[in-house]
C-alpha cells in the first residue's frame, strides 16, 4: 500500500474544509485503491490537532465523515513567508511520517505566496528538483495577470521540474468535462461532423445564482474574466475545439489544446460586460468599482476544422439558475432548406452542472399529424444513474496527482496563452452595464446586436 504524505498549506481555509479534506477522506476509504495517508495542515492561527479537525468538520458537507482522518491528521502553525519555520516543519514531517513513498504539497494559498513557499520547501530539502516523489499542487488562479504568472513560473522552475508541478483547474476534474472527449471521439456521428461544415455555433455557459458571497476582497480584483474565463471557460473551449490528438496521453492532448489557444481570437465588438445591481454595496468592494460580474464573449478558432464558427463564452453571477453546459449547434440539412417547415437546428448539450449528462435536440414529426414538426430532446442524466457514486472533481484530481497522471492538470504554456488572451480582452474592455436580473441582462445585450445572447 502506498504511504502518502499530504501537506496542505492554507489548511484552515474554505477550500481545505469544503473540498480537500472531504476528498481525502473519500480516498482514504476507497477499498479498491487503498492508500495510507498522513496529512499535515498548515496555517497561522492557533489550533490543536483536535480543535483543527472539529473546525473543519463544521465546514465540510454533511455527507462526508472527516472523523476517519482523526489519527492521520495533524496541525502545524506557521507563516509560509517565514523561511525559519521550514526547519521545524521538516522535523514535524520526519516525526509524523518516517518513511513515505510520495509527498504531495498542496498550495491552497493566494498565488503571491506560491514562489516563496516552494523555494522555502526546496531550501530545507523537502522538495528536490527532478525527484518525482515530491509533487506540488497549485490551486487556481495561477497568477493574477500575465506578468505575475510568468514571475511565479520562473520562480518555480528553479526548484521544480514541470512534471513535479500540478496546476489545478477543478473544472477539468468534473465528470462531464472528462466525458467530453469520449462523446466527441467515441461516437461516429460526432466524429464526422465535428467541424465547420456541420457546426453552426458553440456556446459555453457557466451561470451562477449567487453573488460574490462575501469574497469581495478577492473578487473585486479579479472579476469574471480572470476568475472564470482565464481558467475554466478557456479550458473547456480548448477541449471542444481541439483537433484529434496523436494519442490520448497527457502531452499529446495538451499539444492540441495549446494549438487552439494559438489560433484563438475574440471579436471586441461582440464582447459584453455587466455588473449586478447591488454589487457596489458588497463588503470589501471598492467605491465605484468597475469589476465585471458578467461577461459574454464571441470567439473564433482559426483552424481548418473550426474557421468561421462563432464560439460564445458566457459566465456571470446573480443569474436565474446555477448551471453549466456546452451546447453545440449543428447546421440545417440540405433538405431542411427546401422544406417550408419550422424546423430547428440540432443541438448537442454536454451538461456539466448541476446534474451531469448529455442531451440531443432533434426534429421529429408530431405523432398523428401529416407534416407538423416538433423539437424533441433525448436526455441522458449521468449523475442520476450513478447517484451517490459520482466522484467529486477534487477526489478525481487528487487521485490523479497521487498516481502521477497529468492530463487533467494545466501545462504552463496553456496558462501563459490564456493569460495573454485575457490581457488583450482587458485592453478593449468597456465599463460594465448594471443588470437587475438575467432578463434585464438579455434585453441589454440584444438591444445593440441582433445576435445570440446565451
Ligand atoms: N474556496 C474555493 O472554493 C476555491 C476554489 C478555487 C480556488 N480557490 C483559491 O484557493 C486559494 C485558497 O482559497 P480559500 O478559499 O481556502 O481561501 P481562504 O479561506 O481565505 O483561506 C486562506 C488560507 O491560507 C492561510 N494563509 C494565508 N496566508 C498565510 C500565510 N502567510 N502563512 C500561512 N497560512 C496562510 C489561511 O490561514 P490563516 O489565516 O490561519 O493563516 C487560510 O488557511 C485562493 O487563492 C482561492 O482563490 C478557492
Question: What DSSP assignment string belongs to 364-433?
Answer: EEPTTSSS-EEEEEEEEEHHHHTTTTPPPHHHHHHHHHHHT--TTSB-HHHHHHHHHHHHHHHHTPPPPE
User: Measuring from atom 4 of ligand 1, which residue has the nearest CA?
Assistant: 15
User: Measuring from atom 17 of ligand 1, which residue has the nearest CA?
Assistant: 13
C-alpha cell at 61: 458537507
The phi, psi pair for 155, rounded to 5°, reads -60, -40
Q: What pLDDT, on a 0 to 100 scale, did the predictor assign at position 431?
A: 94
C-alpha cell at 253: 492532448
Q: What pLDDT, on a 0 to 100 scale, did the predictor assign at position 98?
A: 73
On whether the CB atoms of residues 181 and 290 are closer than 8 A, the answer is no
Distance from the CA of 44 to the center of ligand 1, in angstroms? 11
Q: Which atom of ligand 1 is nearest to the CA of 170?
A: 6
Strand partners, 360: 348, 378
From 47, 108, 120, 221, the mutation candidate for ligand 1 (largest count of ligand atoms within 8 A of CB) is: 108
Same fold, 2-167 and 172-448: no
User: Measuring from atom 10 of ligand 1, which residue has the nearest CA?
Assistant: 108
Distance from the CA of 245 to the center of ligand 1, in angstroms? 36
From 7, 8, 14, the mutation candidate for ligand 1 (largest count of ligand atoms within 8 A of CB) is: 14
User: Measuring from atom 36 of ligand 1, which residue has the nearest CA?
Assistant: 10
On whether the CB atoms of residues 351 and 359 are closer than 8 A, the answer is yes
Alpha helices in 202-264 (DSSP H): 216-224, 234-241, 250-262
Distance from the CA of 139 to the center of ligand 1, in angstroms? 10
Distance from the CA of 109 to the center of ligand 1, in angstroms? 4
Neighbours of 139 (CB within 10 A): 22
C-alpha cell at 337: 432548406
Query: Can you tell me the distance from the alpha carbon of 136 to that of 126, in angstroms, rounded to the nearest whole number?
Result: 11
User: Measuring from atom 46 of ligand 1, which residue has the nearest CA?
Assistant: 110
Residues with CB under 6 A from ligand 1: 10-16, 43-45, 79-81, 108-110, 139-140, 218
Q: Which atom of ligand 1 is nearest to the CA of 9?
A: 34
Choosing from 170, 232, 272, 421, which is the catalytic residue? 232
Distance from the CA of 11 to the center of ligand 1, in angstroms? 8
Domain boundaries 172-448, corresponding CATH code:
3.30.360.10
Domain 2-167, what architecture?
Answer: 3-Layer(aba) Sandwich (3.40)
User: Measuring from atom 24 of ligand 1, which residue has the nearest CA?
Assistant: 10
Query: Can you tell me the distance from the alpha carbon of 49 to that of 183, in angstroms, rounded to the nearest whole number?
Result: 45
232 has catalytic annotation: yes
Query: Can you tell me the distance from the alpha carbon of 166 to that of 410, in angstroms, rounded to the nearest whole number?
Result: 7
Strand partners, 340: none
Q: Packing angle between helix 21-28 and helix 393-403, nearest 10 degrees?
A: 60
Largest CA distance in the chain: 82
3-state secondary structure (DSSP) of residue 283: coil
Digit-coded pLDDT (tens) for 85-120: 999 999 999 888 777 889 999 999 999 999 999 999
* Cell 506560491, located at residue: 114
Please report which helix (H) or strand (E) contains residue 97, including its range.
helix 85-97
Q: Which residues of the chain fall below pLDDT 70? A: 386-390, 448-453
Q: Which atom of ligand 1 is nearest to the CA of 80?
A: 32
Per-domain residue ranges for the chain?
A: 2-167, 172-448
3-state secondary structure (DSSP) of residue 152: helix
Q: What pLDDT, on a 0 to 100 scale, did the predictor assign at position 400?
A: 95
Among 254, 99, 39, smallest CA distance to 162 is for: 254
Distance from the CA of 10 to the center of ligand 1, in angstroms? 5
Q: What pLDDT, on a 0 to 100 scale, did the predictor assign at position 21?
A: 97
Question: Which residues are CB-contacts of 51 (< 8 A; sequence separation ≥ 6)?
Answer: none
The CA-atom distances, in angstroms, between 235 and each of 248, 272, 315, 404, 447 are 16, 20, 14, 20, 30
Pairing of strands 199-207, 323-330: antiparallel
* Cell 436565474, located at residue: 320
Q: What pLDDT, on a 0 to 100 scale, did the predictor assign at position 387?
A: 57
Digit-coded pLDDT (tens) for 357-385: 999 999 999 999 888 899 999 999 887 77
In the DSSP assignment, the letter for residue 274 is E
Q: Sign of torsion, CA 356 69 141 154? A: negative
Q: What pLDDT, on a 0 to 100 scale, did the predictor assign at position 317?
A: 98
Amino acid at each position: 500500500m502506498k504511504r502518502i504524505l499530504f501537506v496542505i498549506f492554507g489548511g484552515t481555509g474554505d477550500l481545505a474544509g469544503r473540498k480537500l479534506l472531504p476528498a481525502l477522506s473519500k480516498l482514504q476509504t476507497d477499498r479498491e485503491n487503498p492508500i495510507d495517508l498522513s496529512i499535515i495542515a498548515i496555517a497561522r492561527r492557533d489550533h490543536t490537532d483536535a480543535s483543527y479537525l472539529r473546525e473543519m468538520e463544521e465546514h465540510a458537507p454533511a455527507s462526508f465523515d472527516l472523523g476517519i482522518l482523526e489519527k492521520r491528521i495533524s496541525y502545524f502553525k506557521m507563516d509560509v513567508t517565514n523561511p525559519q519555520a521550514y526547519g521545524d516543519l521538516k522535523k514535524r514531517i520526519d516525526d509524523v511520517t518516517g518513511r513515505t513513498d510520495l509527498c504531495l504539497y498542496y498550495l491552497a494559498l493566494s498565488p503571491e505566496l506560491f514562489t516563496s513557499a516552494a523555494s522555502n520547501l526546496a531550501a530545507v530539502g523537502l522538495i528536490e528538483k527532478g525527484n518525482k516523489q515530491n509533487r506540488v499542487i497549485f490551486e487556481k488562479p495561477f497568477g493574477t495577470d500575465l506578468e505575475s504568472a510568468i514571475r511565479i513560473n520562473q520562480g518555480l522552475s528553479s526548484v521544480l521540474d514541470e512534471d513535479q508541478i500540478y496546476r489545478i483547474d477543478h473544472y477539468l476534474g468534473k465528470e462531464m468535462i472528462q466525458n467530453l472527449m469520449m462523446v466527441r471521439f467515441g461516437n461516429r456521428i460526432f466524429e464526422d461532423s465535428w467541424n465547420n461544415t456541420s457546426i453552426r455555433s458553440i456556446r459555453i455557459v457557466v451561470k451562477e445564482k449567487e453573488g460574490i458571497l462575501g469574497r469581495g476582497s478577492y473578487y473585486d480584483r479579479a472579476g469574471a474574466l480572470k476568475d472564470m474565463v482565464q481558467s475554466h471557460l478557456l479550458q473547456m473551449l480548448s477541449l471542444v475545439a481541439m483537433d484529434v490528438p496523436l494519442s490520448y496521453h497527457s502531452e499529446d492532448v495538451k499539444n492540441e489544446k495549446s494549438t487552439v489557444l494559438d489560433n484563438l481570437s475574440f471579436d471586441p465588438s461582440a464582447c459584453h460586460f455587466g455588473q449586478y445591481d447591488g454589487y457596489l454595496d458588497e463588503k470589501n468592494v471598492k467605491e465605484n468599482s468597475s469589476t465585471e460580474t458578467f461577461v459574454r464573449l464571441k470567439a473564433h478558432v482559426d483552424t481548418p476544422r473550426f474557421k468561421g464558427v462563432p464560439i460564445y463564452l458566457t459566465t456571470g453571477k446573480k443569474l436565474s439558475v446555477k448551471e453549466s453546459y456546452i451546447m453545440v449547434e449543428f447546421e440545417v440539412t440540405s433538405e431542411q432548406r427546401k422544406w417550408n417547415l419550422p424546423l430547428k437546428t440540432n443541438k448537442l448539450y454536454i451538461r456539466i452542472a448541476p446534474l451531469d449528462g448529455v442531451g440531443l435536440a432533434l426534429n421529429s414529426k408530431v405523432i398523428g399529424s401529416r407534416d407538423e414538426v416538433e423539437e424533441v430532446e433525448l436526455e441522458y442524466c449521468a449523475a442520476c444513474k450513478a447517484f451517490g457514486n459520482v466522484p467529486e472533481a477534487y477526489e478525481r484530481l487528487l487521485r490523479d496527482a497521487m498516481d502521477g497522471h497529468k492530463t487533467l492538470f494545466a501545462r504552463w504554456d496553456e496558462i501563459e496563452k490564456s493569460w495573454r488572451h485575457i490581457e488583450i480582452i482587458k485592453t478593449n474592455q468597456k465599463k460594465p452595464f448594471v443588470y437587475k436580473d438575467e432578463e434585464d441582462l438579455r434585453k441589454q445585450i440584444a438591444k445593440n446586436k441582433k445576435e445570440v445572447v446565451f
